[in-house]
Amino acid sequence: MNPPSLDKTSLERHTSTQFDAELEDIRERVLSMGGLVESQIADAARALIEGDGQLGERVARQDYRVNAAEVDIDELCTRIIAKRQPQASDLRLVLAVAKTITDLERIGDEAEKIGRFACQVASRQRPASAFRQIETLASHVRQMLRDALDAFARLDTHAALAVSRADIEVDREYESTIRECMTFMMEDPRTITPMLDLLWSVKALERIGDHATNIGEYVVYLVGGRNVRHTSVEAIEQVVATTSGSAHKSDD
């Protein structure tokens, strides 16, 4: 038997007003952490594209803020489990939060890497066309994260599904950018060193897309009670359709 779907108003139905406040607090903290991480991505990408070594260094130095946010929220989740012993949808919320902040922290790590790579390539000659592709890729993965966080905030499984679909296109862009960087290295050996740094940055961006996809999958788990990690987009579509159908029936 599948776990019951999460009623979007269930967070308001607890007998304990304090419990309500605690659950809402961790949700808000997740979104705040997500906003911080999104800013880190934007700054890291700009540092890389514009050759701004100082901005790249600042991004790398500020990763501690993301780490601290993860630790704080994780401690709150542990406290809620120990004190409240949540069940059903409440427990899924706490578990989804714990998993989400792990992915957000890893996105922060990837942004830190890009910031450090930006410092290394700031003074080097770089092919402009490669950076245009990187700019597009960075914009897309940042949008994926924003959409995943929005899905989390609204408990919107359809928006979460859209993030998984977007990851397919990001993977295509990643492969295209890799091919272009390899072409530059074969045509001009002098570009090998800066291109290698760019390749690592491109890989970091692709990983950010993967982590954003994970966050979307946690939303599907939170709302529908089904673990859709390591499944296909088609499988997620089926779960979302089932969840939506159950929601409509309950509304009726």
Q: What is the mean pLDDT of residues 109-128?
A: 84
Q: Where is pLDDT greater, at 201 or 194?
A: 201
Residue 126 in this model has a pLDDT that exceeds 70: no
What residues contact residue 96 under an 8 Å CB cut-off, 6+ apart? 152, 218, 219, 221, 222
Would 35 be classed as within a structural domain?
yes
Would 153 be classed as within a structural domain?
yes
Distance of CA 112 to the CA centre of its chain: 15
Q: Where is pLDDT greater, at 74 or 134?
A: 74
- Quickly tell me which residue has 């901005």 as its tokens: 55
**What is the domain range of residue 205?**
10-251
Question: Is the whole-model pTM more than 0.85?
Answer: yes
Give residue-wise pLDDT tens across range 7-23: 555 544 545 788 888 99
pLDDT band at 181 (very low <50, low <70, confident <90, very high): confident
Does residue 93 contact residue 12 with C-beta atoms inside 8 Å? no
What residues contact residue 112 under an 8 Å CB cut-off, 6+ apart? 40, 44, 59, 60, 63
Buried/exposed 36-63: b ≥16 CB within 10 Å, e otherwise: ebbebbebbbbbbbebbbebbbebbebb
Residue 2 in this model has a pLDDT that exceeds 70: no
pLDDT band at 197 (very low <50, low <70, confident <90, very high): confident
CA distance 204 to 202: 5
| CATH code of the domain in which 187 resides | 1.20.58.220
Does residue 121 contact residue 194 with C-beta atoms inside 8 Å? yes
Residue 134 in this model has a pLDDT that exceeds 60: yes
Residue 247 in this model has a pLDDT that exceeds 50: no
Lowest mean pLDDT among 92-101, 109-118, 236-245: 236-245
Query: CA 105, 111, 115, 116 torsion: positive or negative?
Result: positive
Would 5 be classed as within a structural domain?
no
**Nearest residue to 115 via CA among 59, 37, 70:** 59
* Domain count for the chain: 1
Q: What is the pLDDT of residue 111?
A: 97
Does residue 111 contact residue 40 with C-beta atoms inside 8 Å? yes
- The torsion region of residue 85 among left (phi > 0), alpha (psi -120 to 50) and beta comes to left
- Quickly tell me which residue has 């790579």 as its tokens: 117
Percent of the chain with pLDDT strictly greater than 70: 88
